[in-house]
Structure 1
Amino acid sequence: MRTERLGQFAGLGAAVLFGCSAPLISTLTGSGSALSIAGLLYGGATLALLAVRLVRGTRAETPIRREDWPALAALTLLGGVVGPVALVLGLARLPAATSSLLLNLEAVFTLAIAVLLGREHLGRRGLVSALLTSVGAVVLSQGSLSGANALGGALIALATLAWGIDNNLSQRLSLRDPIQIATAKAAGAALPMLLLALLLGHAFPPLPLTLALLGIGALGYGISIWLDLLALRNLGAAREAVLFSTAPFVGALFSVVVLRESLSAPLLLATGLMGAGVALLLREQHSHRHRHESLLHAHRHRHDPRGIGGSGDPHHEHDHALEELEGLPSEHPFWHAHEHRHLELEHGHPHVSDAHHRHRH
């Protein structure tokens, strides 16, 4: 339950940071080309994540492995290049309200892929929570498709589908070092876009606005991506999608409080709907007897020398080689990372669809 609560706070934190970044970016879109602005945002994200890694030092995490690179390349291409480019092209062809409404397809695609293909489970409360937050997003965007055209709608749908796949691929990689994954993703998106903008002679913002975009990208993209990976690790992609779907509401509220935009009735109604949806998800508990199949993998986990009778995680009671325990406490719980095998286990307890709980219901 402790890791689940951490995932919930991380997911909400990611939504808050990303939601606040959108209104700020909208005030700077005329300062340069779409490609240069997107590249600067991801450049700021890369710098922030490198700084976090430097401050935190090396932690007990499993680094990216050779077999992870295809998935990492795919999510970087989809989430960092295809999604943003399709979004920019779609935004140019659609009114703002229509774009906001269609962008909610990201949560729909993420949920559908996670549940139908990823074997994640979302109970009745989770489904009602997803419905409430989705309706709140529709209300927030005033549910209008006026001015829409087929090409613009298709481009926005392509962007949201790319991000939905990205979210599910990221969840599969979230057992690896989240800072390393986030940094690789941000750098993999920033460098090609910045180089392409330079080669094509695109306009870049003046220095003060460039620094502002780097700062917005540091928080709204860099730290947000890191927190989102923690949410994906501890909750699964379906529940993360519900929490992250509150980002448009956060952006609208930020616009009212900070940018002094007018308070509207749709915003007040969306506040109630999304608040109810998030509260319902936070209170959700899913528990039943289930069987764990034998599994070999590597990730950060908590080991309690006192065994199952102590406060440890029964999923991670396994033998260790002497070198795996070198320098670690012998009497107190500790976190570490190494390749380990899960033996078959049957028990019952509250759980979500994390990497250890993808089973039939």
Structure 2
Amino acid sequence: MSVRAASPALAAALLFGASTPLAKLLVGDTPPLLLAGLLYLGSGIGLGLVLLLRVAVGGAEVRKAMTLPRHERPWLIGAIFFGGMLGPALLMWGLTQTSGATASLLLNVEGVMTAVIAWVVFKENADRNVVLGMLAIVAGGVLLSWEPGGTAVSTGALLVVAACLCWGIDNNLTRKVSTNDATFIACCKGLLAGLCNTALALALGGDLPSLGTVSASMAVGFLGYGLSLTLFVVGLRTLGTARTGAYFSVAPLFGVVISFAIWREAPAPAFWCAAALMILGIWLHLRERHEHEHTHLPMEHNHRHVHDEHHQHEHAHAVKDGKAHSHSHRHEVLTHRHPHYPDIHHRHVH
């Protein structure tokens, strides 16, 4: 896998990983559901401003791209419910009962949940390295979730794992709309999830924190949820769901480094064992190479692209070679062999 193809997912991982220990700082006296709402409101409002700026510069062509086909809307609604409402609320609740470093590393389980759902429900192909990598990540997650010296699983860890399950469902549903404008998709999720969570938290008796805390929460949400989700959607488009989830599993490692820098806490031996297992899992994912002869069936869709081996079509007006552009285009039957992943053009049966 080229660095260019992997960079959106890795950048998304960096931003999201940094948001977890920062959110831990903000939890304080703010109810978890309210904090989740503020994080997503920051995401939606920030991306909304970005979209307005793009419309001001690009005009009608940009506005046209910010639409969602009617048959894809249920997928987005489901993604918003699981990933924008349930997931963040469970994570914020879990952060009140576990350390920032442990929560950050445990978020690797999201990649496992994402991949399992992609393989079992949506029939995405699974190579040996990917499966072995996921097993290593699961082992690390189990090790982290067990209370040191105790006989029960940590409640805080279980809440973080439940959030990962919600985001795994969210990632697979978002894949269904990933050919659309990534910023528009992320903005819709942020605004709707943020408004619902904030309104529900206030209705349950929560009080808004200080203006400084609100501003900080929304800033963290814009970077760690808004920009991160936008880049994640781009990754889904180019790598497929399981592979994007695998690269995104780097996120907790970024979070751990930041967490240790903030709290100066000494990790237990089990923590390093879990970290080693998760790093092994990520390394196995990065080593994967998938290549075979495959056939592309006729297909028509709209996304940003350049003229390459998969995009050889005519235009009413000349388009400069190598220039990215967006329009509705049709793919004819094509059989060839090359390294590939289950992106929007390689979702075939194995």
Normalising TM by the smaller chain, what interval? Answer: 0.7 to 0.9
Equivalent residue, structure 1, for 2:296: 292
Structure 1: where are the runs of 5+ without partners? Answer: 304-312
Offset, 1:237? 0.9
TM-score normalised according to structure 1 size: 0.82
Question: Out of 234, 247, 251, which is 2:251 matched to?
Answer: 247
What is the CA RMSD across the aligned residues, in angstroms?
Answer: 3.1
CA contact (8 A) 1:39 1:189 kept: yes
* CA contact 2:175–2:233 (8 Å) conserved in 1: yes
The alpha-carbon deviation at position 42 of structure 1 amounts to 0.7
Q: Report what 2:328 is aligned to.
A: 339
Equivalence for 2:185: 181
Q: From the superposition, tell whether residues 219 and 88 of structure 1 become closer, same or farther in structure 2 (CA, over 3 Å).
A: closer
Task: Please state if 1:119 is matched with 2:129.
Answer: no
Residue number in structure 2 paired with 1:169: 173
1:23-42 aligned within 5 A: 23-42=21-40
Task: Tell me whether 1:314 sits opposite 2:314 in the alignment.
Answer: no
Deviation at 1:199, TM superposition (A): 3.8
Distance 1:91 1:23 in 2: 9
AA of the residue aligned to 1:215: A
Shift in CA distance, 91/350, structure 1 to aligned 2, threshold 3 Å: same
Q: For residue 346 of structure 2, what is the aligned residue in structure 1?
A: 357
Q: Contact (CA 8 Å) 1:110, 1:165: kept in 2 or not? A: yes
Pick one of 81, 85, 110 that aligns with 2:85.
Answer: 81
Q: How does 1:101-180 map to 2 (within 5 A)?
A: 105-141=109-145, 146-148=151-153, 159-180=163-184
Distance 2:180 2:246 in 1: 23
Q: Deviations over 1:204-248 (max 9, x none)?
A: 211222221112111111111111111111111111222222333
Compute the displacement of 1:16 (Å).
Answer: 2.0
**Matched letter for residue 286 of structure 2:** L
Q: Deviation string for 1:144-190 (max 9, x for gaps)?
A: 684449x9898666543322211001112111100000000000101
Normalising by the residue count of structure 2, what TM-score does the alignment of the two structures yield? Answer: 0.85
**Greater displacement, 292-301 / 254-263:** 254-263
Over 3 Å counting, the alpha-carbon distance change for 1:124 and 1:178 in structure 2 is: same
Identical columns (%): 40
Q: How many residues align?
A: 342
Match for residue 226 of structure 2?
Answer: 222
Give the counterpart letter for 1:133 in structure 2. Answer: I
CA distance in 2 between counterparts of 1:117 and 1:6 reads: 29
Measured after TM superposition, the shift of residue 271 of structure 1 is 4.5
Shift in Å at residue 13 of structure 1?
1.8
With over 3 angstroms needed to count, the CA separation of the structure-2 counterparts of 1:297 and 1:354, relative to structure 1, is: same
- What does 1:246-285 align with in structure 2 at a 5 Å threshold? 246-285=250-289
* Structure 2, gaps ≥5 residues long: none
